[in-house]
Structure 1
Amino acid sequence: MNKEYTWHLFALHLNEIPFNHENLAEIKVAGKKICIARMADKAFACAAQCPHAAAPLVGGYVNVQQQIVCPLHRYKFSLENGRNVSGEGYYLRTYPIEEREDGWYIGL
């Protein structure tokens, strides 16, 4: 099944996003809260809240395996596909990001 996305420009450059010391930021795109994670020159997007207890993921961190770690119960989710890799069975909504000539886009 191919997903149809509506693409939204969210930044001309990643440097304009207010990332915290863990390289996470919460932004609003098309009325939806999104958590953006930056690792080197890559960016990942996921739901702003943990699917388990709705903790804001911007308060967590990203580990070296490119997993976002929830600040509340330390559940870990792959930023690539949203899979819960610490075994609790939850799924984190992820969104595709593309860098284009005129900026950074997210598919919703």
Structure 2
Amino acid sequence: MPHDDEYHWYKIAEHINELDFAANNIAVAKVNGKTICIGRQCDRLFGFAYKCPHAGGIMADGYIDAAGNIVCPVHRYKFSMSSGRNISGEGYFLKTWPVQIRDEAVFIGML
């Protein structure tokens, strides 16, 4: 994974409370015209793709399981929120991005 200084950091919210997290702890945000998801688990935030790389399922309609994996609503493929690796055994990777809170504002890092 690249170092923090290799990313271009985009502010997605002035405060975490501005992110509209659904009951499944997933919020949808726009960055540079791109729709993405922000997942929240145990006070950590993770950025990941809006659509599943397998069948295009909307990841915001999925859920985060007890192990911290994002689960696609279409075929229940599970992806690590930190690495994007499909832990269901298939070779798919979900695009992920680091998220940081700085002075209460929420930033996402993209290459």
Give the SS at the match of 2:17. Answer: helix
After superposition, the C-alpha distances for 1:28-66 in whole angstroms (9 at most, x for unaligned) are 111111111111321110011000011110000001111
Number of aligned positions between the proteins = 108
Give how far 1:102 is off. 4.6
Structure 1, unpaired ranges of 5+: none
The 5-angstrom pairing of residues 93-108 of structure 1 reads: 93-108=95-110
After superposition, the C-alpha distances for 1:69-97 in whole angstroms (9 at most, x for unaligned) are 00000000000100000111100110011
Distance 1:48 1:29 in 2: 12
**Are the structure 2 counterparts of residues 54 and 105 from structure 1 closer, same or farther at C-alpha, using a change threshold of 3 Å?**
same
- Structure 1 length normalisation: TM-score? 0.93
The one of 78, 81, 89 aligned to 2:80: 78
Give the SS at the match of 1:80. Answer: coil
Percent of pairs identical after alignment?
48
Q: Which amino acid is the alignment partner of residue 24 of structure 1?
A: I
CA RMSD of aligned residues (A): 1.4
- Structure 2 length normalisation: TM-score? 0.91
Cα contact 2:16–2:104 (8 A) shared by 1: no
Residue 32 (structure 1) aligns with: 34
After the TM superposition, which of the residue ranges 97-106 and 78-87 deviates more from structure 2?
Answer: 97-106
Distance 2:90 2:15 in 1: 35
